[in-house]
Structure formats: structure tokens, C-alpha cells
Structure 1
Amino acid sequence: MTANPDPNVDTVWVEKVALIDQIPRWAAMLGLAVIVIAIWELATARMGWVSPIILPSPGETLDDLIFVGKNLLSGGYMLEALWTTTRTVFWAFVIAAGIGFSLGVLVGETKFGERAVMPYLVAIDTMPKVAFAPLFIAWLGFDIASKVALAAFIATFPIVVSTAAGLYAASENERMLFKSMGASRLQTLFRLKLPTGLPHIFTGLKIAAVGVMAGAITGEFLGGGQGFGALIRQSASQMDTPRVFALILYLSLLGLALFFAVAWLQKRLVFWNKADRPGGVG
């Protein structure tokens, strides 16, 4: 910070902005991508520091990106696989949101939920969730249901925690005001606690949007099926790493679409929240 040198004028503090922070966002993202690709190209195609079996070159990956894109646009077998994964992700997210929100309200609104339910939820969340994949497959079979169950299982806990935290976001003065006006417990919940806690709830939903993708692909990778996870497993078994990278990149687009859909919904429902959001998303 620097002060105004004129002693006759009130001191005005001006915060210095670092040079790197003055770079526009689009330019920073583009520059970082160029640097990463350049190092990638140097380590693989130019210098041969990394075997192409382990890490394909950007050119090889681009070739497979084009191949996969053409297959998707032509309505080939990869489009059907992507549709299967998309359905898995969608239904798992809906189920996780419903269960997570309900449990979050139970934990945040009742002593029973806080004292009895929450410890079990924490204990379950500390377990390696991938280890549950064989159980879901044994219970629900190799169809889409087992993948949906695993993905929802992974994505539920962040929604529980964020919902419970959101119910405590209202200040004590606001709660006392509602109580003094004779508001019932349900009126306080729906007119004060939930609206105030929406930013927290949407934070959990955005975390779940990422987790549900990991759960769906893990389920397809371990439990068979017709989704992108199965295609990744097949390509990996054939040591076709460029195809694996291409499939993963297309899956990232699906994950980003779900994340930004939740962020878009947050901006529409929580338009009154003017707090700065990291990264300018959500």
C-alpha cells in the first residue's frame, strides 16, 4: 500500500495489485494451457523423456480426440456409451441431492440427527468408498443401477454437511426475531434458515457434482457396463493410452457441464448473495 504524499490532504491508502493479478482471466488460462502443452510436447515427442505407453504426446492425444469426436457426432457406439454415463451421472446426482438434503436437515434441525445420525455418517464417509463397488454390484447387478448407487453414495456426504452448516448460517438475532414474531419451527426453517443457508447448500451440490462423476466412472470401470468407464478400461487393457486420455478429456466436459449447471442454478436462486466467489464460478 502507498499513502498520499500531500500532508494537506487526507491520507488515502491505495492497495498495490501484483503484476500477475493484472493479467486478464482468459489470457492467464490460455497462457497456462500453452505452457503445459509445451512441456508435455517436450517431455514426450521432442526429448523422449517419457515413454509413449505411459504418456502419449499431445499430437497422438489430439488424433484420438478427433477420432472420438467423429464417433460421437456420427452416432457411433461411443455416443451410446456417453449417453449411458450421462444417465448414470444425472440420476446419481438427483438421488444424492435428495438424500443428502434430507439427512442434512435432520442433522441440522434435530438433536437426534446431530448426536445419533451424524457420527454414523462420518464413520461411513471415512471408509474407502471404492471398496463398496463389489457390494453394490452383488446387490444390484451389473446394470446401471449399481453404478448409480455407488455414485450417489460417494456424492451424498458433502451435501449433508453443507446443508447442516447452512441451517446454522442465520444469525442469532434473526432467529430471535422470528421467535418473537411467533413463527413456528417450520416457518423458521423454510423462511429463514433454508434461504440463508442456500449458498452453503449449493457449495455442497457443486462438490457432489464432481464426486458423482468419479463414482459413476469407478462403477463402470470396475463393474462393466456400456459407459465411458468401460471404454476406458478396454483401452487401458490394450495399452492405448492416447484413447484413454481422449476419453477422459471428453468426460471432463460432462463433469464441467454438470458443475456449471449447478452454478447457473445457484446464480438464479441465490442472486441476492453478492459475496465474492473464488474463480468467478458459482
Structure 2
Amino acid sequence: MTDAPDHGTDTVWVEHVALIDRIPRWLAMLGLAAVVLLIWDLATARTGWVSPIILPSPKETLDELVMVGTNLLSGGYMLGALWTTTRTVFWAFLLSALIGFSLGVLVGETKFGERAVMPYLVAIDTMPKIAFAPLFIAWLGFDIASKVALATFIATFPIIVSTAAGLYAASENERMLFKAMGASRWQTLVRLKLPNGLPYIFTGLKIASVGVMAGVITGEFLGGGKGFGALIRESASMLDTPRVFSLILYLSLLGLALFFAVAWVQRRLVFWNKGDRPGGVG
């Protein structure tokens, strides 16, 4: 009698992929956009369930998008407003990155930062930051400085937290190895902790790239100026919702450009790490 061949006890698990997950990414994005546009058109233009004062139809919004785009390409006043907002976003992001990284290293590398500085930072972050807009305007005026300050105030904390967390990413064995080799604290920070913490730091920078946009537009909306936020305020005061929607969509392109610029730098500097790219973004 021949025994059945022993194939071992190892079990090969085959992951079941749902049908919806097999759809190509580009097709899924186009399909979702088409469904949203269809529902939007039905609720506004086709049935009139929603007043155009509250929500314009897709066609009205598209017409305004073309008008705003034409003004931008022709060098009209909207191009100057977009440049003002872009310049404010750039300086606010740069400042928040410098301050956030510095405080993150202080918190993550020293007991003083962890025990004394971090509680104050957490307390400040729990405050409603938009309420500080009038204070920044009173302190710094209606120019670009108050908008940069507000946006920096909003966007800095995620960078602090991610930088501090990244400094703890190195394993205990790696730290002990550096200590056994006689590496100084500075060498351990520069050659071990910061390289290991880069994925965390870039996560904070990507979160800040979104926060800084919100801060700048809020500052322009509340504190005047000549940016896109001021144009949105003026259009909203005249109940020109198609113009408001079109300006918001162009601002979203600016925010996406900043986000993907940070993601591009991350791919170049942290090419060895693929774990911080959920959904293929970043």
C-alpha cells in the first residue's frame, strides 16, 4: 500500500481581491467623478432641488472656470491675486517647516523639550487657531505678514509631532551599535535618527502643506489683502457662487501642487522607503 505523498504542513494563503479593487485607478477616479457630476447636475440644473444661490450647476461652474482661467492666462488682475496667494503660501510653508523641524528635534532629542516644551505646544495646538486671526492682523497689519503668521501657526504642529516621532524610529539595537562604536550624540542624530525619521518628517510636511493653504486663505478672507481669499470674500458678498466655486477649485490646484512637490522631494530623498505611500500618494 502506497502512502499518499506528504506535501508538508505549510499553508499557502491566497489573498482574495474584491472586484471593486481590481478596477484600474484612473478608471475608478473617472467613474467617481462622473457619478458626482451626475448627482450635482440632477440636484441643480435638472430638478432645481437646490437653489443656484446655494449651489451652482456644473455648467455655471465650468463657465466661471473658463472665465477665471482666461483672466489668469491673459495676465489680468486674478493672476496678480494668485501670485500674492502663492507667495504667501510659499513663505508660510517654509517658515512652518523650519520652526516645526527645530522644535521637533528639541522635543524628540532632549528631556527638556519633551517634559517642559511639549506640554505648552500641545496646549497651544488645542486652541482654536482661527480665533487668533484678528490678533495677528492687529499685531502685523493687513499685509502679507499677518497671513504668513496665521498659516505658520496652523501648519507647524504636525511637523513638530512627526519630527519628534521620527527621531524614535531607529531601533534600540541600532542605537546601541552607534553607542558601542563611540558615536557622539550629534553623529547619532545626523547619521542614524534623522535618516530613519525622514518618512515621518515628510508625512508631517505633507499634512502641513494642506494646513498652510487653509491658513493663508483664512487670513486673506478675514484680513483683507489682494489674494484669492479676498476675491472669494468679494464674490461671496455678491452671492456669486459660481465664481466662488471656480476660485476654490483653482486654489485646490495650488494646494495639490504644493502637496505633490513635497511628495516628489520625498521620493528623491527617501527612495529606500516605500511604507509611507498610502494609496500610491507620496
Structure 2 length-normalised TM: 0.96
1:269 corresponds to which residue? 269
Structure 1 CA distance for aligned equivalents of residues 94 and 279 of structure 2: 26
In 2, the alpha carbon distance for the partners of 1:255 and 1:127 equals 24
For 1:85 and 1:29, the matched residues in 2 are separated by 29
How big is the shift at 1:102?
0.2
Which ranges in structure 1 are unaligned for 5 or more consecutive residues?
1-5
Amino acid in the other structure paired with 2:50:
V
**CA displacement 1:121-159 (0-9 Å, x = unmatched):** 000000000000011111110000100110011000000
**Where do 4+ consecutive residues of structure 1 move more than 4 Å?**
6-11
What is the CA–CA distance in structure 1 between the aligned matches of 2:21 and 2:5, rounded to whole Å?
31
Is 1:237–2:237 an aligned residue pair?
A: yes
Q: 1:281 to 1:114 in 2, by over 3 A?
A: same
Cα distance in 2 for residues equivalent to 1:8 and 1:43:
64
Partner of residue 182, structure 1: 182
- 2:75 is aligned with 1:75: yes
Write the mapping of 1:104-115 to structure 2, written as runs, cut at 5 A: 104-115=104-115
Identity %: 85
Q: After TM superposition, give the deviation of residue 275 of structure 1 in Å.
A: 2.1
Which amino acid is the alignment partner of residue 273 of structure 2?
Answer: N
Q: Deviations over 1:204-227 (max 9, x none)?
A: 000000000000000000000000
- TM-score of the aligned structures, taking structure 1 as reference length: 0.96
C-alpha root-mean-square deviation of aligned residues, in Å? 1.2
Q: Which amino acid aligns with 2:257?
A: A
Residue 194 (structure 1) shift: 0.2
Letter of the structure 1 residue corresponding to residue 91 of structure 2 = W
Amino acid paired to 1:68: V
Partner of 1:101: 101
Residue 123 in structure 1 maps to residue 123 in structure 2: yes
**Preserved contact between residue 199 and residue 276 of structure 2 (Cα < 8 Å):** no
- What's the CA shift for 1:14? 1.5
What does residue 172 of structure 2 align with?
A: 172
Amino acid at match of 1:184: S
Aligned to 1:45: 45
Report what 1:3 is aligned to. Answer: none
Count of matched residue pairs:
277
Tell me the secondary structure at the aligned position of residue 20 of structure 2.
helix
Question: How far did residue 276 of structure 1 move?
Answer: 5.8
**Counterpart residue number, 2:221:** 221
Query: What is the distance in 2 between the residues matched to 1:244 and 1:276?
Result: 34
